[in-house]
Amino acid sequence: MSKSSAAVIERSSARGRGRPRSEQARTAILQSTLDLLKEVGFNELSIESIAARAEVGKATVYRWWPNKAALVIDAFVSVVGEELGFKSKGSVQNALRDQMRRWTVVFRSPLGRIVASVIGAGQSEPEILEAFREHWVEPRRREAREMLKRGIKNGEIKDLDPDTILDILYGPLYFRLLVQNTPLSSDFADVVLSAITPGLFQ
């Protein structure tokens, strides 16, 4: 979390001569963005209101983020913690169940609405989607892929492409997050995993 946005905005960077960037302004902007994102959603979110709430000049926002999309991504990334990693030490199956359940919790929280907003905004702005994949999907997939590969190697699960497996497992959760046809309960995670279990585990 600490230097999360460094991935998007190159700070540090040789320490130039002028007045250094205000960390306070940066934090206030990201926080205001998150707050407003939750309150009004991406479409109604205006740079003007972000700057006003952060008590910051509009130009300071534009100095560091080229557009609303980049700012939203950065705010989003800055808040993405480690709470979604795999914690179970047991079988692959247990680890998956445990983590999928935790995702349903996250998806029901305000962070879930932000994730949905970001994917939604990404449908109009490719770079948002790109950043979403890079900063949200990929970091989680990296870990999951390793675990699945281990499972494949030790014969616990069938030899399928790990990314395909993950699309199948998490796709339904995203579907309910985004389409909201049915509430996203923890049970749903269990059902999805159970349904896939015979086809996945040997």
Partner DNA sequence: CAATAATCGAGACGGTACGTCACGTCTTCTT
Partner DNA sequence: AAGAAGACGTGACGTACCGTCTCGATTATTG
**164 is a contact residue toward a copy of itself (CB under 8 A):** yes
CB under 5 to 8 A by kind: which of a copy of itself, DNA, none does 98 bind?
A: none
**124 is a contact residue toward a copy of itself (CB under 8 A):** yes
Taking only Cα atoms into account, the Rg of the chain, rounded to an integer number of angstroms, comes to: 19
Contact 167, 175 (CB under 8 A): no
Q: Which of residues 132-161 bind a copy of itself (CB under 8 A)?
A: 132-133, 137, 160
Which of 66, 87 has the CB closer to a copy of itself? 66
Tokens of 137: 């999907």
| Alpha carbon distance 151, 148 (integer Å) | 5
Site string for a copy of itself, 75-114 (x = CB under 8 A): ----------------------------------------
- Figure out which of the listed residues 8, 26, 148, 173 binds DNA, where binding follows CB under 7 A: 26
The H helix count followed by the E strand count for the chain is 10, 0
- Figure out which of the listed residues 8, 34, 36, 64 binds DNA, where binding follows CB under 7 A: 64
- Residue linked to tokens 């939203």: 72
The footprint of a copy of itself on this chain (CB under 8 A) covers a number of residues equal to: 46
Give, in degrees to the nearest 5, the angle at Cα 74 between 130 and 166: 45
Tokens of 44: 């109604």
